[in-house]
Structure 1
Amino acid sequence: MPSSKELVRTFLLEVRSGRHPEYAERFLAETVLAHQVQAEDPVTLKRSPREYAEHVEEMKALFGAFELEIEELLAEDDRVYARWTQRGQHQGTIDGRPPTGKALTQLTSAVYRVTAGRITEYWIQIDRTGLTTQLDAVGGRPSRA
């Protein structure tokens, strides 16, 4: 069985990257708690591997065939911290902003909990303000429809 660190690395490069979302069941427990860490409205979602794969497909619809570069990966006990940069193009409507085709960069970090060789829980933070600033800069103003 791979180490927790190697399991998360492979998950990020194969599934989260959008290359093979259908492989989610190889890495995720039957139910995964996905903690969306945001100051104004923290929420915890329950996701199955299938639902996670659908989530990645939604990201591909928004950002096109994006690139994911792991910048940091640290492990201790059952936790793995990962920080990555995602680069894509504005291909779908994001926060009411119609597609512009312009380049977008998203900075993200997450802590994954691994139990018995499966990701069972994660806490994720995404630089949403940075994404909004980029969308505003490329003329992606929210539609009023």
Structure 2
Amino acid sequence: MTRSTEATIRGFLDEVRSGRSPQRAPEFLAPVVLAHQMRAGARETLERTPANYAEHVEEMIEMFGAFAFTVDELLIDGDRGYARWVQHGHHAGLIDGREPTGRPIETLGSAVYRVHEGMIVEYWIQQDAAGLAAQLE
């Protein structure tokens, strides 16, 4: 039985991206995922594996501490889903070359995920880099 697009994305966000269980990434991500990362003035596409995505989440935990992750919106259309979230943590580790201050940090993000046969195979992500930079000043 193949999971629905919604169940796949919701499970991924709730279990993996939330920082709750990064090691569960292989349950939701295809062996190679195209990750289109968009920041103002810069776009790049990375090939992510479940293992390096789990490492990425562990790095976020090092930077932000045990953060709270809330999905504010999840819209599904066929094999794609759009999610918008807010993450609350603390400046617990080195972020963009800035030493930890312990101050609260809120980050906003959104992504469109493409699902094939119950696995995320591609996503387009946008993060509020300017908002994060302002909080690190």
Same fold flag (TM > 0.5): yes
> What secondary structure is seen at the aligned counterpart in 2 of 1:86?
strand
Report if aligned partners of 2:3, 2:117 keep a CA contact under 8 Å in 1. no
Q: Distance in 1 between matches of 2:53 and 2:125?
A: 14
Name the CA distance, whole Å, in 1 between partners of 2:116 and 2:84. 20
- % identical aligned pairs: 56
Equivalent-residue separation in structure 2 for 1:45 and 1:13 (angstroms) = 23
Q: Would you tell me which structure has more strand in proportion to its own residues?
A: 2
Q: Which segment drifts farther, 59-68 or 5-14?
A: 5-14
Shift of 1:6: 1.9
Given the alignment of the two structures, is residue 82 of structure 1 paired with residue 90 of structure 2, yes or no? no
C-alpha separation in 2, matches of 1:67 and 1:6:
21
How well do the aligned residues superpose, as a CA RMSD in angstroms?
Answer: 0.8
Indicate the residue corresponding to 2:116 in structure 1: 115
Superposed CA deviations along residues 118-140 of structure 1, whole A, max 9, x for unmatched, are 0000000000100011111xxxx
CA distance in 2, matches of 1:110, 1:135: 23
Higher Cα Rg, which structure = 1
**Count of aligned pairs between the two proteins:** 136
Offset from partner CA, 1:49-87 (integer Å, 9 cap, x none): 001000000000000000100000001011100000000
* In structure 2, distance between residues paired with 1:100 and 1:72: 30
What's the counterpart of residue 27 of structure 1?
Answer: 28
Deviation at 1:12, TM superposition (A): 0.5
- The aligned counterpart of 1:14 is 15
TM-score scaled by structure 1? 0.92
> Counterparts of 1:41-80 in structure 2 under 5 Å?
41-80=42-81
| TM-score, normalised by the number of residues in structure 2 | 0.97
Residue 19 (structure 1) shift: 0.6
Q: Aligned to 2:108, what secondary structure does the other structure show?
A: strand
Letter aligned with residue 129 of structure 1: A
**1:2 Cα deviation from its structure 2 partner:** 2.9
Residue of structure 2 equivalent to 1:142: none
Q: Distance in 2 between matches of 1:10 and 1:49?
A: 14
